[in-house]
C-alpha cells in the first residue's frame, strides 16, 4: 500500500514515515501543502495523511481541490488538540477521517487500515432504496441514473444506513458499525456526515431519504425518500 504524508513538521513526518514503513507501507512525504497537492494529483496513492496547518496550501484546500477534481482517494487529516471546528470543516471539505494531535501511532495505523479495508474489499451485491442505489463493490451511488460523488467515509455511512433501511439507528450504532474501532472522538461527527450526505443524495433531488428521529437517531426511508 502506497501512502502520501503531507506534514510540515519534519520530526513528526520522519517518525510517522519510519513507523508506517515498519508496518509494511510505502510512504512518500511532502513538507509543503502546494507540493503535496501536486504530488497527490500527479501520483497514485492508496491513501493520504494530511496535516491541516500547512505552508503553501492548507489541508482544507487540499481536500477540497482533490474532491472537486473527482479524486476520491481516502484522506485522513491531522488536527490540533482543540480543533473541533477544524475537524468539522475538514470533513465537510472531503476528508474521510481525522486524528487529533498528539496521537497514538497504533491508532493511526488502525484508522488507516480501516479506511483501506473499505476501499479494497470484495464485490457484494448492489443495494437499493427506491431510486437510491449503491454498489458496495464499486463504491458508487446513484439517484436514478445520476451518479453521486461521495468520499470514502460518506459512502461507508450511506451503505450502513441503506443496509438497514427502515430501521432507526442511533449515533452510537452508526459509530460502531462504520468506524470499526473504539472511537474516542466527538460522537457528533455522525451529524457532520449525515448533513453532508443530505446535501449529496437528498437536497439536489428534493428528497428526504435520511430522516431524523428525534431523541433516537436516523432512519433511511425504504422508498428512498
Instruction: Determine if the peptide bond prior to 83 is cis (ω within 30°).
Output: no
pLDDT one-digit tens code per residue, 157-213: 999 999 899 999 999 889 888 876 556 666 788 998 999 999 999 999 999 999 999
The domain limits of the chain are 2-119, 127-220
Under 8 Å between Cβ of 53 and 131: no
Fold of 127-220: Arc Repressor Mutant, subunit A (1.10.10)
Q: How confident is the model at residue 63 (pLDDT cuts 50, 70, 90)?
A: very high
CA–CA separation, 77 and 7 (whole Å):
10
pLDDT one-digit tens code per residue, 119-149: 665 556 789 999 999 998 888 999 999 999 9
User: Which class is domain 2-119?
Assistant: alpha beta
For 29-35, what is the mean pLDDT? 96
202: its cell numbers:
437528498
Under 8 Å between Cβ of 130 and 145: no
For 112-117, what is the mean pLDDT? 84
CA–CA separation, 71 and 41 (whole Å):
8
183: its cell numbers:
472511537
135: its cell numbers:
454498489
pLDDT one-digit tens code per residue, 88-111: 888 888 898 888 888 889 889 988
User: The cell 496513492 sits on which residue?
Assistant: 45
Provide, rounded to the nearest whole percent, the portion of the chain with pLDDT above 90: 56
Q: Do domains 2-119 and 127-220 have the same CATH topology?
A: no
**pTM as predicted:** 0.68
68: its cell numbers:
472537486
What's the mean pLDDT when you consider all of the chain? 88
Amino acid at each position: 500500500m502506497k501512502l502520501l504524508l503531507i506534514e510540515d513538521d519534519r520530526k513528526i513526518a520522519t517518525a510517522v514515515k519510519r513507523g508506517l514503513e515498519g508496518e509494511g507501507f510505502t510512504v512518500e512525504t511532502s513538507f509543503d501543502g502546494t507540493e503535496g497537492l501536486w504530488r497527490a494529483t500527479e501520483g497514485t496513492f492508496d491513501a493520504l495523511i494530511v496535516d491541516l496547518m500547512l505552508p503553501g496550501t492548507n489541508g482544507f484546500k487540499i481536500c477540497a481541490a482533490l474532491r472537486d477534481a473527482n479524486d476520491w482517494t481516502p484522506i485522513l487529516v491531522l488536527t490540533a488538540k482543540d480543533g473541533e471546528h477544524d475537524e468539522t470543516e475538514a470533513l465537510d471539505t472531503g476528508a474521510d477521517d481525522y486524528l487529533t494531535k498528539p496521537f497514538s501511532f497504533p491508532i493511526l495505523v488502525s484508522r488507516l487500515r480501516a479506511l483501506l479495508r473499505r476501499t479494497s474489499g470484495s464485490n457484494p451485491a448492489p443495494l437499493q432504496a427506491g431510486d437510491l442505489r449503491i454498489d458496495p463493490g464499486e463504491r458508487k451511488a446513484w439517484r436514478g441514473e445520476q451518479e453521486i460523488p461521495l468520499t470514502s467515509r460518506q459512502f461507508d455511512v450511506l451503505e450502513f444506513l441503506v443496509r438497514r433501511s427502515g430501521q432507526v439507528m442511533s449515533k452510537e450504532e452508526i459509530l460502531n458499525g462504520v468506524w470499526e474501532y473504539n472511537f474516542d472522538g466527538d460522537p457528533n461527527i455522525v451529524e457532520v456526515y449525515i448533513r453532508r450526505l443530505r446535501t449529496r443524495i437528498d437536497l439536489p433531488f428534493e428528497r428526504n431519504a435520511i430522516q431524523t428521529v428525534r431523541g433516537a437517531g436516523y432512519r433511511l426511508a425504504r422508498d428512498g425518500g
